[in-house]
């Protein structure tokens, strides 16, 4: 790379990078706790085994720790990259300016993750650089930006003056709002934001306690040093699908004999290849016999049935998803309190790219009498606020039975289930937490919640309320205080 063509700003960045290369171990030691905490959260956001592009990679340590299947790092400094290549021979390092379109055009995309760790603060044209990245994106690519909170400017300057931080050239003054705006201008859509590290020092063990149990609280988190933003390629910029994806509607049912045929009659045929899969849960009212009768009565439809080997709706959903053949997976509760007629809305929201995890919400439209008792409604509202905070995406109704996602995304949820474990008797939170961990775009579709016309509810208000409370604590530990 011809460094003489670099601007004075880039020349300053390069000079500091070369200084860092000469004494890199000493500088890393000064920020050890901060770097470890930063990396820990990036590992939460980024599963192992992905194709990762790290813009402004430095020594490549961060990229290596993320354990990519294919990792590429770009940096201005040849001295830095000489060290990086020796330390991490399995990774690919390119000397170049990440703002040069020709440098990015030479890469073999798409990537699963494009990471800008502080890099956005040094770019001369943030919007143009982000626009160049769109050519390296697929619909599943996630752009992750980490940057520092500008309220920390005075403290960071003091730390640099005492030689506790590497001297820095002038930074871009970017708030999280500014970054979200730039991403939107460049063809990206923000999925989530997070704030971490209120105390970026170990401080005799006080740092970890503050950062895990205080720093992530609403209001307080805005004062954290570290900001994170996750974005995806905007669906408006994606080409139209050549073929409508197939779909599987999974109908979980236990003692729902009177609703079986109604489900078939009321469900619209909203795509050319539609599979209807009943998951029967050891009913005592003849539900299984009724399903077999309906299968014979509607031979032109692709209707199947499996009998779950476990117990509970969560087990039924997982069994149905594993057996389903469709590209799109849709849950429809057998009590039909969520209207089958609404399923085309969910399908269209997914296949047009408006969202990647579509959740129903029963708390928008007025409900029929007795559809949901007051205490249930109150609990749902409170828990929805809590989970929206925990997940950094809006969830107004976590327990609505209808949830929709692509099977390829569900498979990733299942593959990464070890992080949360087999903890969910409902099935809702297994999917919600998994979708959040994968950084899927969540949208909600309001539905009119109907009263039952057959059978009785299988929800125990207080038992399940206690389970929900346990789920909040569980989610806090796994999503915030880890």
pTM comes to 0.90
Banded pLDDT at 355 (limits 50, 70, 90): very high
In 3D space, the residue among 339, 334, 375 whose CA is nearest the CA of residue 468 turns out to be: 375
- How many Å apart are CA 106 and CA 182, to the nearest integer? 24
**Higher pLDDT, residue 222 or 454:** 222
Instruction: Write out the DSSP string of 398-409.
Output: TT-S-EEEEHHH
What's the pLDDT tens digit per position in 410-456?
999 999 888 888 777 778 889 999 999 999 999 999 998 776 565 55
Neighbouring CB atoms inside 10 A of 305's CB total 19
The β-bridge relationship of strands 247-253 and 274-280 is parallel
Predicted confidence (pLDDT) at residue 365 exceeds the cutoff of 80:
no
Q: What is the mean pLDDT of residues 390-412?
A: 90
Banded pLDDT at 153 (limits 50, 70, 90): confident
**Contacts (Cβ under 8 Å, ≥6 apart) of 46:** 52, 66, 113, 115, 144
What's the pLDDT tens digit per position in 156-210?
777 767 666 666 666 788 889 999 999 999 999 999 999 999 999 999 999 999 9
Q: Are 307 and 291 within 8 A, CB to CB?
A: no
What's the pLDDT tens digit per position in 102-139?
999 999 989 999 999 999 988 999 999 999 999 999 99
Domains of the chain: 3-237 (3.40.50.150), 247-479 (3.90.550.10)
What's the pLDDT tens digit per position in 5-26?
777 777 777 777 777 777 777 7
Joined tokens for residue 436 = 């959040």
- How many Å apart are CA 6 and CA 352, to the nearest integer? 42
If you search the block for the tokens 């003489």, which residue do you land on? 4
Q: What is the mean pLDDT of residues 72-86?
A: 93
What's the pLDDT tens digit per position in 263-320?
999 999 999 999 999 999 899 989 999 999 999 999 999 999 999 998 888 899 999 9
């Amino acid at each position: 790379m011809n460094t003489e063509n670099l601007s004075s700003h880039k020349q300053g960045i390069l000079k500091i990078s070369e200084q860092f290369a000469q004494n890199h171990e000493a500088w890393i030691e000064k920020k050890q706790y901060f770097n470890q905490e930063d990396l820990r959260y990036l590992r939460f956001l980024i599963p192992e085994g992905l194709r990762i592009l790290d813009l402004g990679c430095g020594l490549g340590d961060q990229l290596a720790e993320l354990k990519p299947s294919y990792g590429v790092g770009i940096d201005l400094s040849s001295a830095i990259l000489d060290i990086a290549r020796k330390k991490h021979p399995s990774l690919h390092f390119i000397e170049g300016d990440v703002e040069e379109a020709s440098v990015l055009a030479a890469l073999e995309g798409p990537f699963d993750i494009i990471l800008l760790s502080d890099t956005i603060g040094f770019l001369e044209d943030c919007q143009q650089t982000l626009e160049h990245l769109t050519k390296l994106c697929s619909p599943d690519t996630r752009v992750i930006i980490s940057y520092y909170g500008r309220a920390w400017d005075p403290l960071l300057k003091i730390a640099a003056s005492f030689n506790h931080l590497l001297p820095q050239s002038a930074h871009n003054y970017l708030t999280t709002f500014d970054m979200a705006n730039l991403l939107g201008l460049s063809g990206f859509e923000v999925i989530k934001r997070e704030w971490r590290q209120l105390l970026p020092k170990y401080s005799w063990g006080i740092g970890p306690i503050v950062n895990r149990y205080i720093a992530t609280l609403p209001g307080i988190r805005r004062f954290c040093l570290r900001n994170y933003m996750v974005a995806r390629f905007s669906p408006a910029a994606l080409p139209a699908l050549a073929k409508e994806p197939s779909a599987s509607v999974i109908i979980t049912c236990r003692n729902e004999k009177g609703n079986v045929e109604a489900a078939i009659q009321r469900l619209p045929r909203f795509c050319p290849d539609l599979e209807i899969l009943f998951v029967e849960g050891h009913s005592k009212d003849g539900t299984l016999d009724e399903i077999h009768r309906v299968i014979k009565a509607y031979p032109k439809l692709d209707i199947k049935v499996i009998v779950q080997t476990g117990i509970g709706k969560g087990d039924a959903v997982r069994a149905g998803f594993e057996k389903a053949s469709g590209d799109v997976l849709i849950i429809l509760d057998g009590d039909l309190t969520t209207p089958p007629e609404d399923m085309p809305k969910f399908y269209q929201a997914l296949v047009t790219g408006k969202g990647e995890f579509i959740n129903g919400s029963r708390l928008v439209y007025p409900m029929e009498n007795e559809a949901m008792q007051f205490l249930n409604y109150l609990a749902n509202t409170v828990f929805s606020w809590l989970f929206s905070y925990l997940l950094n995406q809006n969830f107004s109704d976590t327990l609505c039975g209808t949830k929709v996602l692509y099977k390829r995304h569900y498979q990733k949820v299942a593959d990464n289930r070890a992080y949360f474990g087999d903890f969910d008797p409902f099935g809702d939170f297994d999917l919600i937490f998994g979708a959040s961990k994968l950084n899927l775009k969540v949208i909600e579709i309001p539905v009119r919640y109907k009263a039952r016309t057959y059978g009785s509810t299988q929800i125990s208000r207080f038992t399940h309320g206690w389970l929900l409370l346990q789920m909040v604590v569980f989610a806090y530990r796994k999503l915030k205080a880890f």
